[in-house]
Amino acid sequence: MKIYLCDLVHDIGQRTRVIPLGIGTIACAVKDSYNDQISTKLFIEAKKIIEKLKSDPPDVLAFSNYIWNTRLSLKIAKLAKEIKPNILTVMGGPHARPDQEGLKNFLDKNKQIDAYIPFEGEAPFAALMGECLKKKTFDIKKIGFVQGSFLNLENYKFERLMVKNDDTSKKEKYNSAYYTINRYSSPYLNGDLDEFLDDPSLSPMLESNRGCPYSCTFCAWGIGSGNKLIKKNLDRFLDEMWYIGKKTKGDVWFMADANFGIVKDDITIAKTLKEINKKYGSPKTFIYHTAKNNAKLVFQVANILGDSAPVNIAVQSFDPKVLDKIKRKNLNNKEISQFIKMHQAEGRTTTTDLLIPQSAETLESHLTSMRVGFELGFDVINTNILRMLPGTEMESDKSRKEFGFKTLWRPMDSGHGFYEGEFIFETDESIMETSTFSIEEMHYVKSIHFLTLLYWLHGVGKPLLKLALNIGINPIDIFIFLAKDQKSELSQKILKPLQQEYKEEWFESEEELIKHYSKKEVYEKLATGEVELKKLNLKYFANMIVEIDLLASSIDSIKKYIQENSKIDKELLETVSKLAFDTLKTDLTSPDLSKTIDYKVSKENFDCLKKFQIISKDEAYNDEDKSFSLNFYFPEEKFMLMTNKLKELNFEENPKNAIYTAVCIGIGKFLYNVNTNYAVKESSYNFDKNPFERLPEDQKEIAQIHP
């Protein structure tokens, strides 16, 4: 029996590309179960699977189903049925409601799919293949029923395939061999993923555990594992890591765990990553999702990983009522503040995420959450619109009704492409109105989010915002002021067109969205590059970066707001304002990578700059001249990386477009580094004086989750 497994990504505008660990694990499950009775092949590129389907079609074609590849996979499944009508098509993954009705609706709508496997896929897929072998057929009518799969048949009754307990202990253990994560061989260790490890454009994906013990209503992560955390055998996982380190050509590794730093094994994993990096030079960057409530372990893990991993403390909201409605428990604000300081003292950047509009969220409660984020000292505050994920509590009919969710549709930013003459893109259903958050407020808040990205995340004028925070002005109030001034150049050139384009990108239904982008005159413009599906905040950020005068005038507006709303010393304000502008590298392609600038300022104001962490505590003051000097520098390696890319992207002719792409792939840098290293090493935290009051309880909670 020949099986092809696909975990597809789009040709154009694709996001991060990772090694297909999921389908690799499924392939192991069937190979372990049926040995030489089957052969498997893995695909991530649409072009390759299309070619192979035409030249050598398999008996079974299976797809992962995620928000970023669902329509692409459905297109290929349809094509496969045209090429070989008796091919068995199977789909599995989280992008379908996993209940009887949800699965039936999905399959009714997508007749080209013969079977759907929700939840963990290995054992059900192996069981389905076993039935095919036993009954010598790929016809679902002859198969009739198989536990764990929803066959696309009239009146089919789905039954979930549950994990059997370890009979010897009568207990489920979180690292039990009985869980599928430990039951089958490793696709890394048996060489199935070698061809992908050879590709430098692919990042290794690791999975040390599966599932999430929490149940935030907007998230699908815990659904597959029944809100349990299921742990992979540590020795086997460490072997996989060493194997990847030796073989991979990718520098960035991704951890698929929902809560890295939740169990003590994660310390061993972090240490091993460092050893692997030392021996093989990879990973240079390690991306992971931080555990929500285990601050001590997360801090230890971050200390071991050092600069190779950013720290994200996602909160989604700070409003207690909202957190209650979305069933989320964050660390309390005192703990978060302490946590941020500890990480910053080690020189690390701390990031948080806020999602809107959550259940029971209002514009005011969201703006308050943003204010709190600034006050707590987060270096980065990411804001995102809530996507509806099938199967989550938030996406249920009950929640939609209870909170008055109104959703709209737009193209998903996961890429698109032309496949067999058809333009295929992915769709994104997001909440754009609730009974407590109007659509007009959602349009308005887009400007606030953009200004946060511009001034805080990308740091244009950040020294002024730091000064503001230190004298009791929250950056959110400055952004509200800037957004209110409808006549300013900033509003006219950036905020208004941004809002307008934002309003226009939404459609009332998925059908309308698809109909629009299926029009020849629309997709042809996409094909020629005349029109692009861009992330709007980044598009307008790129537009702004090339307008030096506009950047300067907007920094000036921030200065004026601070002046008019405080009793700030004029000299201090002027100095910070100048420093904010000096930090910008206005000529992006100029090889002038360093400069020294003198600032005349009183000793008192100089001390304030240090206290507010606007300049380094190590800066020296020149008493004679009453001045200090700052050395600005732009790292050569980053400069070369960026300018080479900009040239390749035709920067001279289309600078906005080139900058947009450079920002999207994370190599667009527009600020000089200043020696403002405010790491206070001597304050390194000692856990004998642990401030996390809830820690013993957290440990207890985890122990209960994993008996």
Minimum CB distance to ligand SF4 smaller for 262 or for 674: 262
> Of 485, 486, 478, 473, nearest to 454 (Cα)?
478
Minimum CB distance to ligand SF4 smaller for 292 or for 534: 292
Minimum CB distance to ligand SF4 smaller for 43 or for 214: 214
d(CA 415, CA 153): 33
| Interface stretch with ligand SF4, choices 109-117, 209-217, 643-651, 670-678 (CB under 6 A) | 209-217
d(CA 138, CA 617): 71
**What does the block give as tokens for 188?**
């890394």
d(CA 663, CA 684): 33
* Chosen residue from 93, 102, 124, 222 binding ligand SF4 by CB under 6 A: 222
Residue 190: Cβ-neighbour burial (10 angstroms; 0-12, 13-18, 19+): middle
CB–CB of 533/427 below 8 Å? Answer: no
d(CA 210, CA 174): 10
Minimum CB distance to ligand SF4 smaller for 230 or for 580: 230
Smallest gap from residue 354 Cβ to ligand SF4 (A): 13
- Restricted to residues 132-161, the positions that interact with ligand SF4 (CB under 6 A) are none
- Restricted to residues 507-536, the positions that interact with ligand SF4 (CB under 6 A) are none
CB–CB of 620/628 below 8 Å? Answer: yes
Smallest gap from residue 212 Cβ to ligand SF4 (A): 3
Q: How many residues does the chain have?
A: 707
d(CA 13, CA 11): 7
Please identify which residue in the block is written with the tokens 């190979």.
Answer: 31
d(CA 322, CA 320): 5
632 binds ligand SF4 (CB under 6 A): no
Minimum CB distance to ligand SF4 smaller for 232 or for 292: 292
Smallest gap from residue 700 Cβ to ligand SF4 (A): 18
Say how many residues touch ligand SF4, by CB under 6 A: 9
Host H or E run for residue 355:
strand 350-356
d(CA 148, CA 356): 35
Smallest gap from residue 366 Cβ to ligand SF4 (A): 18
Smallest gap from residue 58 Cβ to ligand SF4 (A): 34
* Chosen residue from 119, 138, 214, 660 binding ligand SF4 by CB under 6 A: 214
Minimum CB distance to ligand SF4 smaller for 140 or for 219: 219
d(CA 30, CA 88): 15
Smallest gap from residue 203 Cβ to ligand SF4 (A): 20
Minimum CB distance to ligand SF4 smaller for 302 or for 544: 302
How far is Cα of residue 656 from the mean position of the Cα atoms in its chain? 24
| Interface stretch with ligand SF4, choices 210-218, 361-369, 498-506, 577-585 (CB under 6 A) | 210-218
> In angstroms, how far apart are the furthest CA atoms of the chain?
93
| Interface stretch with ligand SF4, choices 215-223, 513-521, 600-608, 664-672 (CB under 6 A) | 215-223
Minimum CB distance to ligand SF4 smaller for 515 or for 700: 700
Angle between helices 363-376 and 475-484 (to 10 degrees): 130
Instruction: Give the SS3 label for residue 507.
Output: strand
Please identify which residue in the block is written with the tokens 């089958």.
Answer: 184
* Chosen residue from 258, 313, 336, 513 binding ligand SF4 by CB under 6 A: 258
Tell whether omega for the bond before 98 is within 30 degrees of 0, i.e. cis. Answer: no
Smallest gap from residue 216 Cβ to ligand SF4 (A): 3
Smallest gap from residue 301 Cβ to ligand SF4 (A): 16
221 binds ligand SF4 (CB under 6 A): yes
Residue 337: Cβ-neighbour burial (10 angstroms; 0-12, 13-18, 19+): middle
Minimum CB distance to ligand SF4 smaller for 291 or for 460: 291
Angle 199-200-201 from CA coordinates, rounded to 5°: 90
Minimum CB distance to ligand SF4 smaller for 53 or for 360: 360
Minimum CB distance to ligand SF4 smaller for 226 or for 591: 226
* Chosen residue from 31, 210, 292, 559 binding ligand SF4 by CB under 6 A: 292
How far is Cα of residue 326 from the mean position of the Cα atoms in its chain? 20
Smallest gap from residue 217 Cβ to ligand SF4 (A): 9
**What does the block give as tokens for 553?**
């005038």
* Chosen residue from 53, 151, 219, 473 binding ligand SF4 by CB under 6 A: 219
d(CA 518, CA 351): 38
Smallest gap from residue 259 Cβ to ligand SF4 (A): 6
Minimum CB distance to ligand SF4 smaller for 541 or for 692: 692
Instruction: Give the SS3 label for residue 479.
Output: helix
* Chosen residue from 137, 215, 470, 616 binding ligand SF4 by CB under 6 A: 215
According to DSSP, residue 179 is labeled: S
270 binds ligand SF4 (CB under 6 A): no
Q: Are strands 209-210 and 230-231 parallel, antiparallel or unpaired?
A: antiparallel
- Restricted to residues 446-465, the positions that interact with ligand SF4 (CB under 6 A) are none
Minimum CB distance to ligand SF4 smaller for 292 or for 416: 292
Minimum CB distance to ligand SF4 smaller for 225 or for 282: 225
**What does the block give as tokens for 307?**
């600069």
Smallest gap from residue 340 Cβ to ligand SF4 (A): 19
Smallest gap from residue 317 Cβ to ligand SF4 (A): 12
Binding site for ligand SF4 (CB under 6 A): 212, 214-216, 219, 221-222, 258, 292
